[in-house]
Amino acid sequence: MKTLVTGGTGFIGSAVVRRLLARGREVRCLVEPGAPRGNLDGLDVELVPGDILDAAAVARATAGCDAVYHLAAIYSLWLPDERLIYDVNVEGTKNVLFAALRAGVRRVVHTSSIAAIGVAPDGGLLDEQAPYEYWNQANAYMRSKYLSDLDARRLAGEGLPVVIVCPAFPFGERDIGPTPTGKFIVEALQGRVPGYTEGGFCAVDVDDVAECHVLAEEQGRIGERYIAGSHNVTYREFFEEVTRIAGLPPIRRRLPSPAVVGMAWAMERWAELRGGSPRITVRAARYALRRAWFDCTKAHRELGMPQTPLDVTIDKAVRWFRDHGHGRPGRGGAAAAPVAAPAAAR
């Protein structure tokens, strides 16, 4: 029997595909027509063209599979029409989950996000049981991941054997986008981070996230969520590690919070007038001013999720980005552009 992976060409998805192949699994990937397939080059996988918004195509891809890993999603800070984010991340997820339910698959692993858990108001640690209290501050991506997370948990109650993985901010190799998370490192390599915000986030190696997915299929409890994270760091600590490992001048300036929000507001207005995407949005800026930290004990204790040291992960990411044309190979110059800020990790 085969294992279906949606989003297998992506950053986390391609890492999951590699983990499955390493276990001797037969893998089928539902691939959006026109999507870059470089992350799957040289891998022994079956590629099936199809869009997750096409319920019939999803059903055909699911046929004959005994496990489904659903990772396909739009991970973006901002789109001119945010309905596309909800269509793909919410309605597309329903197509995949209902196809798996009808096909009677043995197990589904749904990729949710820490975005579906929220942010502690006091900067403390949230775990999988925390009530969601971030809707009013969330952007479209975060809301869409919360809604699709609710659908997965609801269907677990209706008989779908689904386990849910909530990745933190992943870093590592094959971030071809790069993702909003990977842009933290890319912006630093290009000397475009003028300072850090007062907030923090939970970082994790993408290969550890992938292993957590497979462990969730093998050992996870149906209907349960597992936060796939490792290192709660401040932005200052993170950029200190990036610049040290990359051999770049340190980023020493702490950006005033009102200035960060004001800068984001101006970029949104500019994007509305001139087109294109703002490099930071107001909601993302406000998120970057919070400490989005999480208690990741459950995934490590119950599943045995590995925990790669942060400096090893950053080194892998820096090398991959430089090898693929992102950033300067030598020492960077003066920072000159706005700070990178996240939507939330996918």
Catalytic residues: 145
Q: Are 163 and 108 in contact (CB under 8 A)?
A: yes
Residue 222: Cβ within 10 Å count: 14
Nearest to 85 by CA among 139, 159, 157, 154: 139
Which value, in Å, is the radius of gyration of the alpha carbons in the chain?
19
**Cis peptide leading into 249, omega within 30 of 0?**
no
Q: Are 112 and 164 in contact (CB under 8 A)?
A: yes
Residue 274: Cβ within 10 Å count: 7
How far is the C-alpha of 282 from the C-alpha of 266, rounded, in Å?
A: 9
SS3 assignment, position 287: helix
Cα angle 144-298-127, degrees, rounded to a multiple of 5: 50
